[in-house]
Chain A
Amino acid sequence: MMANDSVKLSKNLLRMKFMQRGLDAETKKQLEDEERRIISDEHWHLDLPELKANENLIIEEPSFVPCENLNYGRISFKGFNPEVEKLMVLINPKEEGANEEEQQIGRMQTDVTDEEMALRYESLVGSMRKKFAKKRERAAMEDLNHNDTNSKRVFLKPHE
Protein backbone atom coordinates (compact mmCIF):
# COMPACT_ATOMS: atom_id res chain seq x y z
CA MET A 1 0.00 0.00 0.00
CA MET A 2 2.77 2.37 0.83
CA ALA A 3 4.45 1.84 -2.44
CA ASN A 4 1.18 2.37 -4.26
CA ASP A 5 0.78 5.85 -2.81
CA SER A 6 4.24 7.16 -3.47
CA VAL A 7 5.23 5.53 -6.74
CA LYS A 8 2.74 5.71 -9.59
CA LEU A 9 3.08 3.75 -12.75
CA SER A 10 3.19 5.85 -15.84
CA LYS A 11 0.15 6.13 -18.09
CA ASN A 12 1.89 4.62 -21.03
CA LEU A 13 2.82 1.61 -18.99
CA LEU A 14 -0.73 1.20 -17.74
CA ARG A 15 -2.01 1.27 -21.29
CA MET A 16 0.05 -1.74 -22.25
CA LYS A 17 -1.77 -4.97 -22.86
CA PHE A 18 -0.28 -7.02 -20.04
CA MET A 19 -1.17 -4.31 -17.49
CA GLN A 20 -4.85 -4.30 -18.41
CA ARG A 21 -5.70 -7.28 -16.23
CA GLY A 22 -4.65 -5.77 -12.93
CA LEU A 23 -6.27 -2.36 -13.45
CA ASP A 24 -9.33 -1.36 -11.49
CA ALA A 25 -12.42 -0.07 -13.24
CA GLU A 26 -11.85 3.60 -12.51
CA THR A 27 -8.38 3.92 -13.93
CA LYS A 28 -9.42 1.88 -16.93
CA LYS A 29 -12.20 4.28 -17.68
CA GLN A 30 -9.98 7.27 -17.18
CA LEU A 31 -7.45 5.90 -19.61
CA GLU A 32 -10.07 5.14 -22.19
CA ASP A 33 -11.50 8.64 -21.95
CA GLU A 34 -8.12 10.15 -22.44
CA GLU A 35 -7.42 7.99 -25.43
CA ARG A 36 -10.71 8.92 -27.03
CA ARG A 37 -9.97 12.62 -26.50
CA ILE A 38 -6.60 12.31 -28.16
CA ILE A 39 -8.12 10.53 -31.16
CA SER A 40 -10.87 13.08 -31.62
CA ASP A 41 -8.38 15.92 -31.32
CA GLU A 42 -6.16 14.49 -33.97
CA HIS A 43 -9.02 13.94 -36.38
CA TRP A 44 -9.39 17.05 -38.49
CA HIS A 45 -11.97 17.95 -41.07
CA LEU A 46 -12.31 20.65 -43.66
CA ASP A 47 -14.56 23.48 -42.70
CA LEU A 48 -16.36 23.71 -46.03
CA PRO A 49 -19.97 24.09 -47.04
CA GLU A 50 -21.41 20.85 -48.37
CA LEU A 51 -20.96 20.30 -52.07
CA LYS A 52 -24.18 20.81 -53.92
CA ALA A 53 -24.67 18.20 -56.61
CA ASN A 54 -25.89 20.36 -59.42
CA GLU A 55 -27.18 18.29 -62.26
CA ASN A 56 -25.74 19.46 -65.49
CA LEU A 57 -28.35 19.78 -68.18
CA ILE A 58 -26.03 20.95 -70.92
CA ILE A 59 -23.66 18.51 -72.57
CA GLU A 60 -21.03 19.94 -74.87
CA GLU A 61 -20.09 18.17 -78.06
CA PRO A 62 -17.17 19.69 -79.94
CA SER A 63 -17.58 17.73 -83.15
CA PHE A 64 -19.94 18.12 -86.09
CA VAL A 65 -19.89 14.41 -86.85
CA PRO A 66 -22.54 13.23 -84.39
CA CYS A 67 -24.64 16.37 -84.86
CA GLU A 68 -24.97 16.13 -88.61
CA ASN A 69 -24.68 12.32 -88.86
CA LEU A 70 -21.69 12.71 -91.13
CA ASN A 71 -20.45 9.74 -93.08
CA TYR A 72 -17.04 8.13 -92.83
CA GLY A 73 -14.32 9.99 -94.69
CA ARG A 74 -13.32 7.28 -97.15
CA ILE A 75 -15.34 7.17 -100.33
CA SER A 76 -14.93 5.14 -103.49
CA PHE A 77 -17.02 5.50 -106.64
CA LYS A 78 -17.81 2.93 -109.28
CA GLY A 79 -15.74 0.21 -107.68
CA PHE A 80 -12.38 2.01 -107.87
CA ASN A 81 -11.38 0.62 -104.50
CA PRO A 82 -13.53 -2.39 -103.56
CA GLU A 83 -12.16 -2.52 -100.02
CA VAL A 84 -13.31 1.01 -99.34
CA GLU A 85 -16.72 0.33 -100.85
CA LYS A 86 -17.11 -2.57 -98.43
CA LEU A 87 -16.13 -0.27 -95.57
CA MET A 88 -18.62 2.37 -96.70
CA VAL A 89 -21.46 -0.12 -96.45
CA LEU A 90 -20.22 -1.29 -93.09
CA ILE A 91 -19.53 1.98 -91.32
CA ASN A 92 -21.85 4.58 -92.75
CA PRO A 93 -25.22 5.07 -91.09
CA LYS A 94 -27.92 3.18 -92.93
CA GLU A 95 -30.09 4.92 -95.45
CA GLU A 96 -33.85 5.21 -95.02
CA GLY A 97 -34.68 1.99 -96.87
CA ALA A 98 -32.48 -0.08 -94.63
CA ASN A 99 -34.00 1.57 -91.60
CA GLU A 100 -37.45 0.36 -92.53
CA GLU A 101 -36.16 -3.15 -92.79
CA GLU A 102 -34.64 -2.88 -89.37
CA GLN A 103 -37.89 -1.66 -87.93
CA GLN A 104 -39.65 -4.65 -89.40
CA ILE A 105 -37.16 -6.95 -87.76
CA GLY A 106 -37.81 -5.14 -84.51
CA ARG A 107 -41.50 -5.73 -84.93
CA MET A 108 -40.96 -9.39 -85.65
CA GLN A 109 -39.03 -9.91 -82.47
CA THR A 110 -42.24 -9.47 -80.47
CA ASP A 111 -43.96 -12.24 -82.34
CA VAL A 112 -46.71 -12.69 -79.76
CA THR A 113 -48.73 -9.51 -79.70
CA ASP A 114 -50.50 -8.23 -76.62
CA GLU A 115 -53.87 -9.15 -78.07
CA GLU A 116 -52.80 -12.72 -78.75
CA MET A 117 -51.53 -13.05 -75.23
CA ALA A 118 -54.78 -11.71 -73.78
CA LEU A 119 -56.78 -14.19 -75.87
CA ARG A 120 -54.64 -17.04 -74.72
CA TYR A 121 -54.96 -16.14 -71.08
CA GLU A 122 -58.72 -15.76 -71.45
CA SER A 123 -59.09 -19.48 -71.81
CA LEU A 124 -56.54 -20.05 -69.08
CA VAL A 125 -58.66 -18.12 -66.59
CA GLY A 126 -61.34 -20.79 -66.75
CA SER A 127 -58.99 -23.71 -66.25
CA MET A 128 -57.23 -21.97 -63.38
CA ARG A 129 -60.55 -21.30 -61.69
CA LYS A 130 -61.37 -24.96 -62.03
CA LYS A 131 -58.11 -25.86 -60.38
CA PHE A 132 -58.72 -23.81 -57.29
CA ALA A 133 -62.39 -24.64 -56.96
CA LYS A 134 -63.51 -27.15 -54.35
CA LYS A 135 -64.77 -30.50 -55.44
CA ARG A 136 -68.42 -29.67 -55.01
CA GLU A 137 -68.08 -26.36 -56.82
CA ARG A 138 -66.29 -28.08 -59.61
CA ALA A 139 -69.10 -30.56 -59.97
CA ALA A 140 -71.59 -27.72 -60.07
CA MET A 141 -69.53 -25.90 -62.67
CA GLU A 142 -69.36 -28.96 -64.87
CA ASP A 143 -73.07 -29.49 -64.53
CA LEU A 144 -73.69 -25.96 -65.73
CA ASN A 145 -71.46 -26.47 -68.72
CA HIS A 146 -72.97 -29.80 -69.57
CA ASN A 147 -76.57 -28.78 -69.24
CA ASP A 148 -76.61 -26.30 -72.07
CA THR A 149 -74.24 -27.96 -74.51
CA ASN A 150 -74.07 -31.63 -73.80
CA SER A 151 -77.00 -33.44 -75.29
CA LYS A 152 -75.66 -36.84 -75.95
CA ARG A 153 -75.62 -37.64 -79.60
CA VAL A 154 -77.43 -40.78 -80.44
CA PHE A 155 -77.60 -42.56 -83.65
CA LEU A 156 -80.71 -41.60 -85.52
CA LYS A 157 -81.98 -44.30 -87.62
CA PRO A 158 -82.48 -43.09 -91.13
CA HIS A 159 -86.00 -43.28 -92.49
CA GLU A 160 -86.73 -45.95 -94.93
Chain B
Amino acid sequence: MLSSLKDRVGAVLLPGDGFSLDTDDTISLTEQAKPDKVLCGPGLRRSGARLVACKSGVLRHKLPNVFWVDSQQRRYVPAKGETVIGIVMLKSGDVFKVDFGGSEQASLSYLAFEGSTKRNRPNVQVGDLVFAQFTIANKDMEPELVCIDSSGRANGMGVFGPGGLLFRVSLGLVRRLLAPHSDIRSDLDQLFPCELVVGMNGRVWVKSSSIQQTLILANLLQSCDTMTAPQRQELFKRVKQGAL
Protein backbone atom coordinates (compact mmCIF):
# COMPACT_ATOMS: atom_id res chain seq x y z
CA MET B 1 0.00 0.00 0.00
CA LEU B 2 2.83 2.38 0.79
CA SER B 3 5.06 1.07 -1.95
CA SER B 4 4.17 3.92 -4.32
CA LEU B 5 5.19 6.41 -1.66
CA LYS B 6 8.30 4.56 -0.59
CA ASP B 7 9.52 4.34 -4.17
CA ARG B 8 9.62 8.10 -4.39
CA VAL B 9 11.62 8.71 -1.22
CA GLY B 10 14.53 10.95 -2.10
CA ALA B 11 12.90 12.09 -5.32
CA VAL B 12 11.71 15.61 -6.06
CA LEU B 13 8.00 16.21 -5.65
CA LEU B 14 6.06 19.07 -7.16
CA PRO B 15 2.79 20.46 -5.83
CA GLY B 16 -0.03 18.34 -7.15
CA ASP B 17 1.82 15.06 -7.22
CA GLY B 18 -0.55 12.53 -5.69
CA PHE B 19 -0.33 9.09 -4.22
CA SER B 20 -3.14 6.65 -3.88
CA LEU B 21 -3.05 4.89 -0.58
CA ASP B 22 -5.89 2.48 -1.28
CA THR B 23 -5.35 -1.07 -0.25
CA ASP B 24 -3.98 -3.27 -2.98
CA ASP B 25 -6.30 -5.54 -4.89
CA THR B 26 -4.07 -8.49 -4.33
CA ILE B 27 -3.82 -9.68 -0.78
CA SER B 28 -0.39 -10.91 0.08
CA LEU B 29 -0.14 -13.75 2.53
CA THR B 30 3.03 -12.68 4.21
CA GLU B 31 2.09 -9.12 5.09
CA GLN B 32 -0.24 -8.40 7.93
CA ALA B 33 -3.77 -7.59 6.92
CA LYS B 34 -4.14 -4.53 9.11
CA PRO B 35 -3.45 -1.39 7.09
CA ASP B 36 -0.72 0.90 8.38
CA LYS B 37 -1.31 4.45 9.44
CA VAL B 38 0.68 7.07 7.63
CA LEU B 39 1.92 10.24 9.28
CA CYS B 40 2.34 12.91 6.66
CA GLY B 41 4.41 15.87 7.69
CA PRO B 42 4.69 19.33 6.16
CA GLY B 43 4.36 19.47 2.41
CA LEU B 44 1.96 16.59 2.14
CA ARG B 45 -1.75 16.95 2.44
CA ARG B 46 -4.61 14.52 2.70
CA SER B 47 -7.28 14.71 0.05
CA GLY B 48 -9.86 12.00 0.50
CA ALA B 49 -7.97 8.75 0.54
CA ARG B 50 -5.07 10.22 -1.39
CA LEU B 51 -1.91 12.01 -0.38
CA VAL B 52 -1.12 15.11 -2.38
CA ALA B 53 2.08 17.11 -2.29
CA CYS B 54 1.53 20.82 -1.70
CA LYS B 55 5.15 21.99 -1.63
CA SER B 56 8.00 21.33 -3.97
CA GLY B 57 10.95 19.55 -2.49
CA VAL B 58 12.50 16.23 -1.73
CA LEU B 59 10.36 13.48 -0.24
CA ARG B 60 11.77 12.23 3.04
CA HIS B 61 10.89 9.16 5.02
CA LYS B 62 11.40 8.10 8.61
CA LEU B 63 10.52 4.78 10.10
CA PRO B 64 7.93 3.54 10.63
CA ASN B 65 5.57 5.52 8.41
CA VAL B 66 6.48 9.18 8.51
CA PHE B 67 6.74 11.07 5.24
CA TRP B 68 7.39 14.74 4.63
CA VAL B 69 8.67 17.09 1.97
CA ASP B 70 11.99 18.74 2.64
CA SER B 71 11.61 22.16 1.08
CA GLN B 72 13.28 25.54 1.21
CA GLN B 73 11.14 28.48 2.11
CA ARG B 74 11.40 31.81 3.85
CA ARG B 75 7.79 32.38 4.80
CA TYR B 76 6.92 30.99 8.16
CA VAL B 77 3.59 29.26 8.64
CA PRO B 78 2.87 28.55 12.31
CA ALA B 79 2.43 24.97 13.40
CA LYS B 80 1.20 23.75 16.74
CA GLY B 81 3.94 22.93 19.20
CA GLU B 82 6.73 24.80 17.41
CA THR B 83 8.85 27.25 19.34
CA VAL B 84 9.45 30.68 17.84
CA ILE B 85 11.06 33.99 18.69
CA GLY B 86 8.49 36.75 18.84
CA ILE B 87 8.62 40.47 19.41
CA VAL B 88 6.03 41.94 21.76
CA MET B 89 4.25 44.62 19.74
CA LEU B 90 1.34 45.65 21.92
CA LYS B 91 0.01 45.32 25.44
CA SER B 92 -3.75 45.21 25.44
CA GLY B 93 -5.47 44.16 28.61
CA ASP B 94 -4.97 40.48 29.21
CA VAL B 95 -2.97 39.65 26.13
CA PHE B 96 0.20 40.73 24.42
CA LYS B 97 0.28 40.87 20.66
CA VAL B 98 3.40 39.19 19.42
CA ASP B 99 4.91 39.44 15.97
CA PHE B 100 6.51 36.19 14.92
CA GLY B 101 6.98 36.89 11.24
CA GLY B 102 3.80 35.18 10.11
CA SER B 103 0.76 36.53 8.34
CA GLU B 104 -0.88 37.60 11.57
CA GLN B 105 0.19 38.60 15.04
CA ALA B 106 -0.20 35.99 17.72
CA SER B 107 -1.75 36.58 21.09
CA LEU B 108 0.12 35.73 24.27
CA SER B 109 -1.79 35.75 27.52
CA TYR B 110 -0.10 37.32 30.52
CA LEU B 111 -1.07 34.21 32.49
CA ALA B 112 0.98 32.02 30.16
CA PHE B 113 4.28 32.78 31.89
CA GLU B 114 5.91 30.77 34.61
CA GLY B 115 4.80 31.86 38.05
CA SER B 116 2.34 34.49 36.88
CA THR B 117 -1.04 34.90 38.49
CA LYS B 118 -3.84 37.40 38.13
CA ARG B 119 -2.23 39.52 40.80
CA ASN B 120 1.37 38.91 39.85
CA ARG B 121 1.80 40.02 36.25
CA PRO B 122 4.96 39.17 34.35
CA ASN B 123 7.26 42.04 33.56
CA VAL B 124 6.96 42.20 29.79
CA GLN B 125 7.48 45.42 27.87
CA VAL B 126 6.67 46.33 24.30
CA GLY B 127 9.70 45.45 22.19
CA ASP B 128 10.83 42.53 24.34
CA LEU B 129 11.84 39.29 22.73
CA VAL B 130 9.98 36.18 23.82
CA PHE B 131 10.72 32.56 23.11
CA ALA B 132 7.33 30.90 23.00
CA GLN B 133 5.44 27.90 21.81
CA PHE B 134 2.26 27.70 19.72
CA THR B 135 -0.78 26.18 21.36
CA ILE B 136 -3.19 27.24 18.65
CA ALA B 137 -1.99 27.45 15.09
CA ASN B 138 -4.44 26.81 12.33
CA LYS B 139 -5.37 28.65 9.22
CA ASP B 140 -8.74 29.85 10.45
CA MET B 141 -7.91 31.13 13.89
CA GLU B 142 -5.63 33.67 15.47
CA PRO B 143 -2.45 31.90 16.56
CA GLU B 144 -1.85 31.71 20.27
CA LEU B 145 1.46 31.48 22.06
CA VAL B 146 2.41 30.37 25.56
CA CYS B 147 5.68 30.58 27.46
CA ILE B 148 5.09 27.53 29.65
CA ASP B 149 4.84 23.84 28.98
CA SER B 150 1.93 21.64 29.97
CA SER B 151 3.19 21.33 33.53
CA GLY B 152 3.54 25.08 34.00
CA ARG B 153 7.33 25.22 33.80
CA ALA B 154 9.11 27.78 31.65
CA ASN B 155 11.83 25.40 30.41
CA GLY B 156 13.80 28.14 28.74
CA MET B 157 10.79 29.93 27.29
CA GLY B 158 9.76 33.44 28.16
CA VAL B 159 11.41 36.82 27.83
CA PHE B 160 15.12 36.67 27.05
CA GLY B 161 17.89 39.17 26.61
CA PRO B 162 18.96 41.88 27.14
CA GLY B 163 21.82 42.30 24.76
CA GLY B 164 22.52 39.99 21.87
CA LEU B 165 21.50 40.35 18.27
CA LEU B 166 18.43 39.18 16.43
CA PHE B 167 18.51 38.39 12.73
CA ARG B 168 16.69 36.30 10.17
CA VAL B 169 17.86 33.21 8.33
CA SER B 170 16.01 30.81 6.06
CA LEU B 171 13.79 28.18 7.58
CA GLY B 172 16.00 25.50 6.08
CA LEU B 173 19.04 26.75 7.95
CA VAL B 174 17.09 26.73 11.20
CA ARG B 175 16.28 23.10 10.65
CA ARG B 176 19.90 22.34 9.83
CA LEU B 177 20.96 24.07 13.05
CA LEU B 178 18.57 22.06 15.16
CA ALA B 179 19.01 18.69 13.45
CA PRO B 180 20.12 15.92 15.83
CA HIS B 181 23.64 15.62 14.42
CA SER B 182 24.08 19.08 13.04
CA ASP B 183 27.57 19.74 11.67
CA ILE B 184 27.00 23.49 11.85
CA ARG B 185 26.42 23.16 15.55
CA SER B 186 29.51 21.07 16.08
CA ASP B 187 31.53 23.65 14.10
CA LEU B 188 30.12 26.46 16.25
CA ASP B 189 30.99 24.49 19.35
CA GLN B 190 34.66 24.91 18.55
CA LEU B 191 34.62 28.70 18.27
CA PHE B 192 34.09 30.68 21.47
CA PRO B 193 31.58 30.78 24.33
CA CYS B 194 28.24 31.97 23.02
CA GLU B 195 24.53 31.42 23.25
CA LEU B 196 21.92 30.94 20.55
CA VAL B 197 18.16 31.07 20.59
CA VAL B 198 16.76 29.55 17.44
CA GLY B 199 13.09 29.98 16.56
CA MET B 200 11.43 27.77 14.00
CA ASN B 201 10.19 30.98 12.37
CA GLY B 202 13.66 31.71 11.03
CA ARG B 203 14.69 34.18 13.70
CA VAL B 204 17.98 33.58 15.42
CA TRP B 205 19.29 35.51 18.41
CA VAL B 206 22.95 35.28 19.29
CA LYS B 207 24.87 36.56 22.25
CA SER B 208 28.51 36.35 23.11
CA SER B 209 30.87 37.96 25.56
CA SER B 210 31.63 40.94 23.32
CA ILE B 211 29.78 42.84 20.63
CA GLN B 212 32.47 42.01 18.13
CA GLN B 213 32.12 38.27 18.68
CA THR B 214 28.34 38.53 18.52
CA LEU B 215 28.58 40.27 15.15
CA ILE B 216 31.03 37.67 13.85
CA LEU B 217 28.62 34.92 14.85
CA ALA B 218 25.68 36.62 13.21
CA ASN B 219 27.58 37.09 9.97
CA LEU B 220 28.80 33.50 10.04
CA LEU B 221 25.34 32.07 10.51
CA GLN B 222 23.81 34.25 7.84
CA SER B 223 26.43 33.21 5.33
CA CYS B 224 26.13 29.52 6.31
CA ASP B 225 22.92 29.33 4.33
CA THR B 226 24.60 29.33 0.96
CA MET B 227 27.86 27.56 1.75
CA THR B 228 28.96 24.00 1.28
CA ALA B 229 30.38 22.11 4.23
CA PRO B 230 34.08 22.49 3.21
CA GLN B 231 33.62 26.22 2.57
CA ARG B 232 32.03 26.63 5.95
CA GLN B 233 34.73 24.69 7.74
CA GLU B 234 37.39 26.80 6.01
CA LEU B 235 35.67 29.98 7.11
CA PHE B 236 35.24 28.76 10.68
CA LYS B 237 38.90 27.83 10.82
CA ARG B 238 39.90 31.33 9.74
CA VAL B 239 37.62 32.86 12.36
CA LYS B 240 39.11 30.66 15.01
CA GLN B 241 42.59 31.78 14.08
CA GLY B 242 41.42 35.35 14.47
CA ALA B 243 41.87 36.33 10.84
CA LEU B 244 38.41 37.85 10.63
Contact = CB atoms under 8 A, between A and B. Distances in A.
Contact of B189 (A70, A78, A91): A78
B12 interface: no
Contacts of B11: none
A87 interface: yes
A153 interface: no
Contacts of A87: 155-156
B133 to A, nearest CB: 10
Interface residues of A, number: 31
B193 A78 contact: yes
A60 interface: yes
A59 B39 contact: yes
Given A59-B37, A62-B80, A71-B180, A77 B189 contact: yes
Interface residues of B, number: 51
A69 to B, nearest CB: 5
Interface in A41-86: 57-81, 83-84
Nearest to A88: B156
A70 B179 contact: yes
A64 B156 contact: no
A37 B189 CA distance: 83
Contacts of B36: 57
Given A73-B83, A74-B196, A64 B175 contact: yes
Contacts of B51: 58
A58 B40 contact: yes
Nearest to B177: A75
A22 B198 CA distance: 86
Interface in B157-201: 175, 177-180, 182, 185, 188-189, 191-200
A65 B81 contact: yes
B121 interface: no
B156 A67 contact: no
Given A57-B36, A57-B37, A87-B155, A67 B198 contact: no
A67 B197 contact: no
Contacts of B75: none
B175, B180, B208 — most chain A CB neighbours (10 Å): B180
12 contacts: A59-B40, A64-B79, A65-B79, A67-B41, A71-B178, A73-B83, A74-B156, A77-B188, A77-B195, A78-B189, A79-B193, A87-B155
Given A67-B66, A76-B195, A62 B79 contact: yes
Most A Cβ at <10 Å: residue of B182, B193, B207: B193
A75 B156 CA distance: 10
B114 to A, nearest CB: 13
B68 interface: yes
